[in-house]
Amino acid sequence: MTLFSAPVFCAIDTVDISRARSIVTAIAGVVAGIKVGLEFFHANGTMGIHALRDLCISIPLFLDLKFHDIPTTVAGAVRGVMPLQPFMIDVHASGGRAMMEAAAAASAEEADKAGAQRPLVVAVTVLTSLDSYAMAEVGMAASSVTDQVMRLASLAQACGLDGVVCSAHEVRRLRAGCGPGFRLVVPGVRPVWADHNDQRRVLTPTEALAAGADLLVIGRPVTAASDPAAAARRIAREIVESRGCA
């Protein structure tokens, strides 16, 4: 990835391909990349991704499909998306060691064959929508949410994954536990001037980065703004200013 002022991936959460294209056109060059997840991908498939990439071929893509299946199937799914040349992909850590190792191996092999750089492979630990009651309901009653996040992050690291997607409130502990090279990708971030929407316990971009986040995922503060480019620039400016580089 080239050097960007804002280590922000903009979440393109829509099924509407024209809307997605106009947002990407507006923000390309201001943010570090785009994040495309289940909503856009299931509606528009790989052709939809190409339609976005055609606007700005070099824009890094976080393909947030959260793979979770038996190791062979996940390895196949990883191979299947490699022609899209994602900058980063993700899997559920709860899929286990063999599944995560298979994902990492498949991405490295395919990249090698293509002579391309392999994507970062990061893990989702505990979905931030789950509280301890919801975890107990699915049989994860033995540990607190934080303990389970730490356990799955350590397992992901041991499997050779590059990092985890995590809540801003988990960043300090994960950074301390997993060390400096482990990528912490953080959604649920809100500038002070933005609506929180359905996100709870948010941090601002500068707070999340100060805590140790590497990449922020921000959607609606940019995509729902009347001027997405201006909103993205405002976030980038605030980050740069907070680092004393303005």
Question: Given the complex with ligand C5P, which of 11 and 24 has the nearer CB atom?
Answer: 11
Residue 92 CA neighbour count, 13 Å, CB half: 12
Beta strands in 60-174 (DSSP E): 61-67, 88-92, 120-124, 163-165
What's the distance, CA 241 to chain centroid?
24
Q: Running DSSP on this structure, what letter comes out for residue 96?
A: -
**DSSP codes, 159-179:** TT--EEE--GGGHHHHHHHH-
The distance of closest approach from Cβ of residue 244 to ligand C5P in the complex, given in angstroms and rounded to an integer, is 26
Q: If we measure between CA atoms, which residue out of 115, 209, 212, 124 comes closest to residue 161?
A: 124
CB of 20 to ligand C5P, least distance (A): 13
Q: Are 123 and 156 in contact (CB under 8 A)?
A: yes
> What minimum distance in Å lies between the beta carbon of 39 and ligand C5P?
8
Chain residues binding ligand C5P by CB under 6 A are 11, 13, 37, 127-128, 165, 187-188, 197, 199, 217-220
Residue 66 CB, shortest distance to ligand C5P, in Å, is: 8
Catalytic residue among 21, 66, 68, 175: 66
Distant-in-sequence, close-in-space partners of 27: CB < 8 Å, separation ≥ 6 = 10, 34, 222, 228, 229, 232
Q: For residues 70 and 134, which CB has a smaller minimum distance to ligand C5P in the complex? A: 134
**CB nearer to ligand C5P: pick between 104 and 189:** 189
Long-range contacts of residues 110-119, Cβ cutoff 8 Å, at least 24 apart: 110/78, 110/79, 110/82, 111/82, 114/82, 116/85, 119/63, 119/82, 119/85, 119/86, 119/87, 119/88, 119/89
Residue 199 CB, nearest approach to ligand C5P (Å): 5
User: Is 66 part of the annotated catalytic residue set?
Assistant: yes
Return the ∠ at Cα 190 (arms to 51 and 148), rounded to 5°: 90
Nearer to ligand C5P, 165 or 239 (CB): 165
CB closer to ligand C5P, 84 vs 108: 84
Q: Closest residue (Cβ) to ligand C5P?
A: 219
* Catalytic residue list: 66
